[in-house]
Structure 1
Amino acid sequence: MAAEAATGSELIQVVALLTAGVVAVPIFKRMGLGSILGYLAAGLVIGPFGLRIFSEPEAILHVAELGVVMFLFIIGLEMQPSRLWGLRQQIFGLGTAQVGFCALLLTLVGVIGGFPLNVAFVAGAGFVLTSTAVVMQILEERGEVSSPRGQRMVSILLFEDLMIVPLLALVAFLAPSATEVTLSERLVDVAIGVASIVGLVLAGRYLLNPLFRVLADSRAREVMTAAALLVVLGSALAMQLGGLSMAMGAFLAGVMLSESTFRHQLEADVEPFRGILLGLFFMAVGMSLDLAVVAENWHLVAIYVVAYMVMKAVGIYVVARFRSSHRDALDRAVVMAQGGEFAFVLYSAATGVGIIDGEANAILTAIIIVSMILTPFAIIALRAVMPKDEQSLEGVEVADGLDSSVLIIGFGRFGQIVSQPLLLRGVDVSIIDNDVEMIQAAADFGFKVYYGDGTRLDILHAAGAGRARAVLICVDKAETAVRIAEHVKAEFPLIPVLARAYDRGAAIGLMNVGVDFQIRETFESALLFGGATLEKLGVDEAEVAEVIADVRRRDAERLELQISGGLQAGRRLMKGNIPEPTPTPLTPPRRPGQAMNEGAADALGGRGAAAAEEGA
């Protein structure tokens, strides 16, 4: 009975963990606060200072740190050795400058606060070590891990992971009992660390690929998954035994396998564990926030959270400005202004050797956690006060005084294909678009595209819409296409307007505006695709043509029915709130079947891929 009660208690904790994460994260993401803050809040609620479902968050934190380890492994898979070598200046140059300058500023803060130099240095050095988990999660959510700005942050994070080793050695040197540690012992520790790195690199280069090749031949999927976890955890353990960071070991293992043919399989196997454990890590951090310590020393915590975050942000900004723009430097300063998980390791080591006491360790840990919690809010504040990115028009001509037979608005994949028969026929064409990068790319292929926003009436005048023989609206966004059509038909009612419609709802909106021709971007290609399928199934070409013509006729009839229902019904359809009138079943001559409600298919596709442009 006692064993059953213990098992039931553990199951309650597991269910509580899953429930807290499942409930909190969607709520916080919907509020625009991000998943990290959701996990931290969830951990705080179910932790020892909330509902007390968990009383020992340290045990969970040790397990959850594997989430950070797996995260670094996946990042390593994306960074081939050649790419990593190309970042060497950023890792060691930029990383050294940022860590050194910030450590100096934060130590100065502690000294000004009246703390001894060794205590001020340890506290500041711990805060210098940015949270790899927080920053990588932010970069991943923003899709910037592989961007130049993201790569600079990743490089600095890697250097900070390396710095935990000399910092731990320095803590031992600064300790009151440092005389017990001889120089030879320190040299042995350094040699063990170097040997661990060399051994892991050699194993990754000569053993891992043959191992996975043998396992792949066995065709046992579960063994491949187990081997992927073995590589991650084994490399992390090897580094830990060598006195180095587990995350660094996993990262090196990922780098060694980045050029392997099994890279994508490994990433797919590790990804589910990484996501769950990383979320568990943030929840454990939230549980570790000792509210009693914060309440008792709230003024000290508040002062040093602000002082450390501001001074670290200043240091990061100053270093970043040597090679980055003001916007990029400010963004990096805010994203990396918090303390990190490696500070917990450093503070624990400092407590163990007597540099700081238990209460100071708790206060410093609370400062780190609060800074991690404040990071999403700081990013939101930065986004609110910073103006939006303005596109540089260098090398791009603005539409002004254009005069041609046809004006094309929008030069994505659809517009590019539309322009080809016109250009081959020798038709005089003017093209405008508001995407500078696309305009520059089009110029490389010999296309002259002018910068201009088709939703503005003055731009339409400057682009020669009133003098054109036809205006072609080829933009991909439904509401933008309708707005442009309204302007053109109102200002130039005699000019023929032909428009691309994203889906059925957009087509109805364009027809209500009065465009002369509209076509849903996937309609004709889908009919052609369906017809080709029927032919592959053995249906005669004449019968295929008859079926396709019947589908096209029925679609036109449904459009007429919906248009007669009024503009309000059309708008409701665009939002997916009105069902399509049910068509009569299609019965091909030889193969009975029923046509799918095409309007419903449009609505489903619109909701599922509203942000993606369908290929022509």
Structure 2
Amino acid sequence: MQIHPLQDFLVLLALAVVAVALLRRAHLPPVLGYLLAGVLAGPHGLGWIHESAALELLAEIGVVFLLFTIGLEFSLPQFLAMRRTVVGLGGAQVVLGTAAGTGIALLYGVSWEGAVVVGGALALSSTAIVVKQLADQLELQSRHGRTAVGILLFQDLAVVPFLVLIPILAGNGAESMWWPILLALLKGVLALAVMFALGRYALRPLFREVTRTHSAELFTLTVLMVALAAAWITHELGLSLALGAFLAGLMLGETEFRHQIEADIRPFRDVLLGLFFITIGARLDIFQLPDIWPQVVALVGFLVLGKGLLVAALTRVAGNEAGVAVRTGMVLAQGGEFGFALLALAMKHELFDPATSQVVLTAVVVSMALTPFLVRYNGVVAKGLLHRSYLQRRTERQREVAEATHQLQDHIILCGYGRVGQNLAKFLRDEAQEYVALDLDPIRIRDARDAGERVFYGDATHRDLLEAAGLGRARALVVTFDEVNAALRILGRVRAEYPDLPILVRTRDDTYMEELSEAGATEVLPESLEASLMLATELLLTLGVPTGEVMRLLENARSSGYRQLRGLFTGAELDAGERAPAGGERLHTVLLPADAPSVGWRLAELGLEEQGVQVSAVRRGGIRGEEPTPDLELREGDALVLRGPSERLEWAEKRLLGG
């Protein structure tokens, strides 16, 4: 019976739901669940999913969107500044890794043509897993994160020559080998020129025209079109789909639309990436494991230990610190998704037998399954192995900070020196207030230091570094970045020793206000709510409302914890870039008809407050009353404005209307 592709797609979606739910509960990366689901349900397992060109295309589009978002993360100047890492370090890793993998394959009796392909497949790492895990851990912009991404970019580029080389090896056409490779490189240069030209002269005007329509659907459609069109262009030039998507993301990362584009593309990327990992797991034949497990274990050891040590050594030789080298080596110690493309093409040209292919495939899948753990604990392992080195470097940084700040008194400590931190610093300088800033972006720190600003490299979540910055003498501490977990760590490590120190925390909205306040924040300042207050201030002043009255309204809003601003009518969709209200809380209006059972009752008798629902206002006869008293008796035609979580609002509506 012919299986419709939709059936396989539904099975994949069901498996993805189960995998993510189970792995999230176990606090493990979802990638592991995707791989395991693919192994169990694939054609070599339970046979629930089958090989399908449609599914393969969807999975490949997931990688396309991943590379597109990677490009958004990297600015063009930053990418050009990384050319030494991309070409030098990445090139050395691919060449030496391929040579080592080729030698191992030759030892197992693989022909030299097939051994070269095996070596190339083993030299590649998993861009999909590594980048996603680094992004989840907020390490994508760290030194080891940027180094790893630079190497991965060269690996993705190196896939092209290998794809050209495999048919040549199969045809024993060594005499004509260099011309196809040179042609592929020329195509790569052409692709770069085309994408840079389109990015400079077409993409920004295109998105400006789209945004003028104020249509979220059109904006999302344009993002999808640009990402897939860029992938198609490089594919038509004989290069990988992912390369074009990365270049398009790189171009759009320079525009003012970057953050909205990233928000729009993320749902598509995450769903299709999950399908991609399931299809990877489906390639594994678990019934062959009893016969090939010694070779698999040896190859996994080569990938995790050998490849990790090679990357670490090259990173160290390139001038990076030992800790950065170890962390980069751990992050890249696995096989990658593009290796499967090389193996599949080599099998098609019969460069080695299916048994060899299954050994390599199984080892790569196993190494990819280990990757989330290697990436998650790369810092712990590096600090354990290089404890003295890490301790010495941290001590040197603390000494540098302490020497530069030992004379400061009643100064401000800024945790983070991005846009918000720099704007605060400008106001402090205008008022002749001293400040110290800690940040993790070395380029930003270098530029700020060259300009004479007191900014230092350091992780503000470490209390000893804050102490070196004069925490005991500081007048206030400000968390300027929007990273809730880091802010909670800072609060937990500072508040216990300094209960009276004012600590101001910036957040994007009110989602984590209570959690941050309970952790010890003196003030939590949600950007979206403060923007509303600023607009209200300017509007009321424009309307002629006395300044004193406006200030009173602002003070009431802030002193109440923005209570009257924190519920909203969400409608069919939120505004661009806006998150759902805190805890799912929203506003909902219930109109009481004549036969409503609640007519004639007092608010206190309904028990709404006990169920987490507040009546924020009642409109009666065209007059709206805010904060009604509990003894208000409800009448026919009253409109009650309720605030609370969605599921509780549904209960409250039934309570008011019956049913």
Greater Cα offset, 297-306 or 42-51:
42-51
CA distance in structure 2 between the partners assigned to 1:479 and 1:381 by the alignment: 18
Match of 2:20 in 1: 25
Aligned runs of 1:349-498 on 2, under 5 Å? 349-387=345-383, 391=394, 392-397=397-402, 474=477
- Whether 2:295 is the aligned partner of 1:290: answer no
Going from structure 1 to structure 2, the CA distance change for 1:596 and 1:113 (only over 3 Å counts) comes to farther
1:290 is displaced (CA, Å) by: 1.5
1:115 is displaced (CA, Å) by: 4.3
Match of 1:166 in 2: 161
Going from structure 1 to structure 2, the CA distance change for 1:473 and 1:291 (only over 3 Å counts) comes to same
1:238-267: CA deviations, max 9, x gaps? 444444322223334444555567766765
- Whether 2:365 is the aligned partner of 1:333: answer no
- Residue 193 of structure 2: SS of its match in structure 1? helix
Match of 1:70 in 2: 65
- Which letter does structure 2 place at the counterpart of 1:317? A
CA distance in structure 2 between the partners assigned to 1:596 and 1:306 by the alignment: 69
1:270 is displaced (CA, Å) by: 4.3
- Whether 2:117 is the aligned partner of 1:85: answer no
- Which letter does structure 1 place at the counterpart of 2:401? V
CA distance in structure 1 between the partners assigned to 2:167 and 2:73 by the alignment: 36
- Which letter does structure 2 place at the counterpart of 1:294? L
CA distance in structure 1 between the partners assigned to 2:218 and 2:366 by the alignment: 41
- Whether 2:623 is the aligned partner of 1:594: answer no
The alignment yields a C-alpha RMSD, in angstroms, of 5.6
Greater Cα offset, 287-296 or 545-554:
545-554
Aligned runs of 1:124-139 on 2, under 5 Å? 124-139=119-134
Going from structure 1 to structure 2, the CA distance change for 1:439 and 1:402 (only over 3 Å counts) comes to farther
1:334 is displaced (CA, Å) by: 1.3
- Which letter does structure 2 place at the counterpart of 1:358? P
CA distance in structure 2 between the partners assigned to 1:249 and 1:435 by the alignment: 33
1:70-120: CA deviations, max 9, x gaps? 322333455555544333322221122111222222233334445444443
Greater Cα offset, 284-293 or 130-139:
130-139
Match of 1:513 in 2: none
Aligned runs of 1:207-222 on 2, under 5 Å? 209-210=201-202, 213=205, 217=209, 219=213
Match of 1:41 in 2: 36
CA distance in structure 1 between the partners assigned to 2:406 and 2:69 by the alignment: 52
Aligned equivalent of 1:156, options 151, 157, 171: 151
Match of 1:281 in 2: 276
Going from structure 1 to structure 2, the CA distance change for 1:319 and 1:552 (only over 3 Å counts) comes to closer
Query: Rg larger in 1 or in 2?
Result: 1
CA distance in structure 1 between the partners assigned to 2:492 and 2:199 by the alignment: 60
Going from structure 1 to structure 2, the CA distance change for 1:463 and 1:400 (only over 3 Å counts) comes to farther
Going from structure 1 to structure 2, the CA distance change for 1:46 and 1:147 (only over 3 Å counts) comes to same
- Alpha-carbon contact 1:236-1:247 (below 8 Å) kept: yes
Aligned runs of 1:298-309 on 2, under 5 Å? 298-309=293-304
CA distance in structure 1 between the partners assigned to 2:462 and 2:166 by the alignment: 63
- Whether 2:179 is the aligned partner of 1:187: answer yes
1:366 is displaced (CA, Å) by: 1.6
- Alpha-carbon contact 1:313-1:333 (below 8 Å) kept: yes
CA distance in structure 2 between the partners assigned to 1:226 and 1:550 by the alignment: 43
1:383-431: CA deviations, max 9, x gaps? 4434386532242227999897xx67855599x989x99997x9xx999
- Residue 289 of structure 1: SS of its match in structure 2? coil
CA distance in structure 2 between the partners assigned to 1:76 and 1:319 by the alignment: 25
1:373 is displaced (CA, Å) by: 0.9
Going from structure 1 to structure 2, the CA distance change for 1:435 and 1:366 (only over 3 Å counts) comes to closer
Going from structure 1 to structure 2, the CA distance change for 1:170 and 1:475 (only over 3 Å counts) comes to closer
Going from structure 1 to structure 2, the CA distance change for 1:580 and 1:486 (only over 3 Å counts) comes to farther
Going from structure 1 to structure 2, the CA distance change for 1:311 and 1:447 (only over 3 Å counts) comes to closer
- Whether 2:277 is the aligned partner of 1:245: answer no
1:66 is displaced (CA, Å) by: 1.8
- Alpha-carbon contact 1:130-1:339 (below 8 Å) kept: yes
CA distance in structure 2 between the partners assigned to 1:203 and 1:500 by the alignment: 46
Going from structure 1 to structure 2, the CA distance change for 1:189 and 1:14 (only over 3 Å counts) comes to same
1:51 is displaced (CA, Å) by: 4.5
CA distance in structure 2 between the partners assigned to 1:401 and 1:207 by the alignment: 48
CA distance in structure 1 between the partners assigned to 2:329 and 2:200 by the alignment: 38
- Whether 2:350 is the aligned partner of 1:318: answer no
CA distance in structure 2 between the partners assigned to 1:207 and 1:129 by the alignment: 28
CA distance in structure 2 between the partners assigned to 1:362 and 1:486 by the alignment: 56
CA distance in structure 2 between the partners assigned to 1:259 and 1:433 by the alignment: 26
- Residue 53 of structure 1: SS of its match in structure 2? coil
- Alpha-carbon contact 2:12-2:49 (below 8 Å) kept: no
Match of 2:589 in 1: none
- Alpha-carbon contact 2:39-2:285 (below 8 Å) kept: no
Match of 1:14 in 2: 9
- Which letter does structure 2 place at the counterpart of 1:351? M
Going from structure 1 to structure 2, the CA distance change for 1:486 and 1:239 (only over 3 Å counts) comes to closer
- Whether 2:87 is the aligned partner of 1:95: answer no
Going from structure 1 to structure 2, the CA distance change for 1:30 and 1:200 (only over 3 Å counts) comes to same
- Which letter does structure 2 place at the counterpart of 1:594? E
- Which letter does structure 1 place at the counterpart of 2:276? F
CA distance in structure 2 between the partners assigned to 1:98 and 1:202 by the alignment: 28
1:343 is displaced (CA, Å) by: 1.6
Greater Cα offset, 352-361 or 47-56:
47-56
CA distance in structure 1 between the partners assigned to 2:14 and 2:490 by the alignment: 41
CA distance in structure 2 between the partners assigned to 1:182 and 1:484 by the alignment: 66
Query: TM-score, structure 2 length as denominator?
Result: 0.64
Match of 1:494 in 2: none
CA distance in structure 1 between the partners assigned to 2:471 and 2:203 by the alignment: 63
- Alpha-carbon contact 1:69-1:236 (below 8 Å) kept: yes
1:135 is displaced (CA, Å) by: 2.1
Going from structure 1 to structure 2, the CA distance change for 1:158 and 1:585 (only over 3 Å counts) comes to closer
- Residue 402 of structure 2: SS of its match in structure 1? coil
CA distance in structure 2 between the partners assigned to 1:552 and 1:199 by the alignment: 54
CA distance in structure 1 between the partners assigned to 2:205 and 2:455 by the alignment: 51
Going from structure 1 to structure 2, the CA distance change for 1:338 and 1:505 (only over 3 Å counts) comes to closer
Aligned runs of 1:558-597 on 2, under 5 Å? 593-595=625-627
CA distance in structure 1 between the partners assigned to 2:128 and 2:74 by the alignment: 18
Unaligned stretches of 5+ residues in structure 2: 385-389, 480-486, 506-512, 564-584, 586-609, 630-643, 646-659
Greater Cα offset, 326-335 or 522-531:
522-531
